[in-house]
Amino acid sequence: MRLFGGLKEVFFMVVVKKMPGDSDDVLIRKFSRKVMSEGILSEAKRREFYLKPSLARKQKKRDTEEAKKRWLSGISK
C-alpha cells in the first residue's frame, strides 16, 4: 500500500508460473482462481465508490446481525 497525495493506492500483484505442459487455458484458469482467492475483485468493487464512515458503520452492523441470524439458524437445525 502506498500513500500518494493523501490517498491510499493499493497495488496487487498476482503471479502465475507456467509449468511444463501447461496450456494458455490452464494459465488463465490458474490466474482467475488466484485473483478470486485473494479477493482482488471484491476489494475493487468495494472501493469503487466512497462510503461515508457513518454508512460504513451501519453496513458493518447490518452484516454482523445477518451473520448472527445465519449462525443461530444453523445451530437450531
pLDDT in tens, 52-74: 999 999 999 999 999 999 998 88
> What is the tally of structural domains in the chain?
1
- Residue 6 reports pLDDT greater than 70: no
Dist CA 4 CA 45 (whole Å): 21
**pLDDT at position 11:** 72
Rounded to an integer, what is the distance from CA 41 to the centroid of its chain?
6
Q: What is the span of the domain harbouring residue 54?
A: 2-76
Global pTM reads 0.56
- Residue 14 reports pLDDT greater than 70: yes
Q: Are 34 and 26 in contact (CB under 8 A)?
A: no
Dist CA 34 CA 31 (whole Å): 5
pLDDT above 90 as % of the chain: 53
Rounded to an integer, what is the distance from CA 59 to the centroid of its chain?
16
